[in-house]
Amino acid sequence: MSNKTTRIELPPPEMIRKRKRPQIPRGIWMILLCLALVGGGVAGIFVGQHYKDSKDAVTVDPDPAANKGVKGEDGKTASEVYSLITSARGAINEGDWLRAKLLFENVIELDPDNGDALASLPLIEQRLNEIRGTLVVNTIPEGASIKILGFNTRKSPTVFEEMPVGKHSIVISKPGYEPITREVKLSADERMEIPVIKLAKSSGHLEVVSEPKGAEFKVIKKQDDELKELIETGTTPATLDKLDAGEYQVLMAVDGWPEYSEFIRIEHNRNSSVSAVFAEGGINVTSKPNGAEIWLKSPDKDPEKVGSTPSILSGLPVGKHQLELRFRDWASIKRTVDIQEGVTQELKFAWERSLVTFVSDPPGVSVFVGDKRIGNGLKITPFTVELPEGEYAFTAKHRTLGNQAQMLVVEGEESEIVNFDFDYGAVILKSDPEGAAVVSNGVPLGRTPLSLPYVRPGSYAYELSKENHRKSVVSGVLEPGGSLEFNSKLKFDASPTANRHFDNGLAQRMIWFGNLNGWVSTTETTQAQYERVTGKNPSYFKDPKHPVDTVTWYEASKYCEGLTVQEQGLGNVPAGYRYRLPTDAEWTQFAGNAKLDQAITSVFQQQQSTAPTASLPSNEFGLFDVRGNVMEWCQDWYSQSVLNRSQREGGTTNPSWVGTERKVLRGGSWNRSSQYDVGVANRVAARPSAADRYDIGFRVVLMKAE
């Protein structure tokens, strides 16, 4: 059975004589559509009245304000329907019939019984069937084949008239030049002249080999049926790159042998070869293309590789042998050879092959046959390869658009074009402010502004998120050839988020500690901050930039309560969190490796008072004055567990304070000079009501409420 396809040849669309339909003037169309919209509105009122007791009905009031809050069962508001109808009417006034159709179809999706849409869509469909455009195509050089689906293939320059509006794919090809695919979108009643398309000249490759090597050769180009131009001379083996398409004569000579001559045609992207054997005895094997493996099966022996073409096989025993040529993954060529004593046989093999050009919309896809990628595993559409005769099942794979399959029967020397046409649309996402992260179905896609030019048609939802802003979710249905554009305004949200630092309403930097699952203020509470929350300042050394001092444990705790309420009002406190004094264990965690020589104490130099917060370097976590300046109140009573913890950390302890209702103080102060007082592992204790201590202040933390 022949593998040739049977085709029924029909006359091309342009050859079929059609009865020209009378064109209805645009003004008449506008009147018809206005009548349809009026009639549709009446029908909509009737339908709305009929279903007024149904929860599924979506009634559209001409006043957008009246539609606010009205919802159907699917959650879509009636104001959306009104907005779509208004936009569709505007598109009709502008003559944008395709957009009007899409908008009315969206109305039907939201409100299947909408009278406006039901009355307008048939008229729009009829109008779209009538309107046409004109496309002008020019190329350099002229005479290129222009192929558009539904039209005869033409030679450039050419004009395509009576073309339906919408997107069209144009394939431009010319022997000796690289093929090109262009996409155009034709509007109604438009004469569109695309920019002149410049074709890039193509070339082929020629390999000249001989057995034995070293034969002299020359290559002559044939023009107008005459051999005119000497292209190349040399000795074999040789490879000639970028030869112009055309017919050539290749001559090879070795002393003592007749001159070998062969005519060969060079074609675009094709690897051609000429081989000759100058030897006696055995079998002289050549092939097109060169480089085929020669496998020989002699009687009572397994097949073995004996060389590559061109090659001389000598010393073979008389008798029949099975000869097989293998090249790449092409079907092998087999032949039975009868070796006779004293006889030299010339065996020439050739694979019938054709050039196949792969194009796609969009370009840039990889093409496979089975699991093997075509084009040396590197090429993407458009590209051209040489394939032997046979029936192929090609699969084009696009990273986001999926796969598409095409069948092709390759036969003879004819060039073939395989076109993969994917359904896709475009999605554009913008945000104010820019730089929002975009995620869809859990997959990060990038940051705004983000353009996704190749997206499968379907329903999509995108989540936009940006630090210090509330998340936004946008969604829509993407139609083939359509586009979705989202512009989301992100609302600023100053509330803290786990894993990041933030500034509270007092401009106080709060550092996130993952091991504590909360935040710690970078500085001790200043007098200015204390006064903003409580309205007073008990400090002995008055200065708004200095830490608050002479503050009791009770006053510090009350400050934390007031700060929590104040920050909750600003939306700066996560649910379940509150400001408080740190525990003794927490203080040990965030103290880190605070250096004594970078602390405000009297160990190295006598101090006269407190100093501005953050006037010396911070510890490794970014916290200032962890040691020195003022001692810091902690939540804990001076208990046996605190004493034990201090001993484990190498601190000096005072067992007599255990059980005496004293609160823990950490970090030392400006007036302390002994290593005991300023040691990071040491604890000092004081009664929570102590009110005359100008060396005591506090630092706040924001932690989960217990």
Rounded Cα gap, residues 668 and 651, in angstroms: 13
Residue 126: CB partners within 8 Å, gap ≥ 6?
none
What pLDDT does residue 15 have?
34
Among 81, 75, 44, 73, smallest CA distance to 56 is for: 73
- Residue 56 gets the label, from left (phi > 0), alpha (psi -120 to 50) or beta, of alpha
What pLDDT does residue 171 have?
87
Rounded Cα gap, residues 551 and 27, in angstroms: 85
Task: With beta carbons less than 8 A apart as the criterion, state whether 143 and 114 touch.
Answer: no
Q: Among 2.130.10.10, 2.60.40.10, 1.10.760.10, 3.30.70.520, name the CATH number for the domain at 203-350.
A: 2.60.40.10
203-350 against 355-419: fold identical? yes
Q: Before 289, cis peptide (omega within 30)?
A: yes
Superfamily of domain 425-489: Immunoglobulins (2.60.40.10)
Rounded Cα gap, residues 193 and 167, in angstroms: 15
The b/e string for 325-353 (b: 16+ C-beta within 10 A; e otherwise) is bbbeebeebeeebebeeeeeeebebebeb
What pLDDT does residue 281 have?
61
What pLDDT does residue 375 have?
83
* Number of Cβ within a 10 Å radius of residue 531: 15
Beta bridge partners of 233: 218
Low-confidence ranges of the chain (pLDDT < 70): 1-77, 129-130, 188-189, 279-281, 299, 341-342, 494-495
Q: Which CATH class is domain 502-704?
A: alpha beta
DSSP 655: G
Q: Give pLDDT tens digits for 383-403.
A: 988 888 888 999 999 988 999
What pLDDT does residue 685 have?
94
Based on its alpha-carbon atoms, the radius of gyration of the chain, rounded to whole angstroms, reads 43
Domain boundary assignment for the chain: 26-130, 132-198, 203-350, 355-419, 425-489, 502-704
0.85 exceeded by the pTM?
no
Among 312, 404, 427, smallest CA distance to 358 is for: 404
The b/e string for 291-322 (b: 16+ C-beta within 10 A; e otherwise) is ebbbbbbbeeeeeeebebbbbbbeeeeeeebe
Task: With beta carbons less than 8 A apart as the criterion, state whether 116 and 85 touch.
Answer: yes
Rounded Cα gap, residues 669 and 682, in angstroms: 12
Q: Before 11, cis peptide (omega within 30)?
A: no
Helix axes 78-93, 115-130, angle to 10 degrees: 30
In the numeric block, the tokens 């085709």 are attached to: 7
Q: Give pLDDT tens digits for 295-316.
A: 988 767 788 898 898 888 877 7
Alpha-carbon distances, residue 187 vs 44, 96, 481, 482, 556 (angstroms) = 31, 8, 14, 14, 73
What pLDDT does residue 8 have?
28
CATH fold label, 355-419? Immunoglobulin-like (2.60.40)
* Number of Cβ within a 10 Å radius of residue 444: 9
What pLDDT does residue 18 have?
36
Give the sheet arrangement for strand 372-373, strand by strand: 372-373, 366-369, 390-398, 402-410
> Can you give the three-state secondary structure of 260-302, one letter per residue?
EEEEEEECCCCEEEEEEECCCCCEEEEEECCCCEEEEECCCCC
Q: Which helix (H) or strand (E) holds 641?
A: helix 640-648
Q: Which CATH class is domain 132-198?
A: mainly beta
Q: Identify residue 176 by its one-letter amino acid code.
A: G
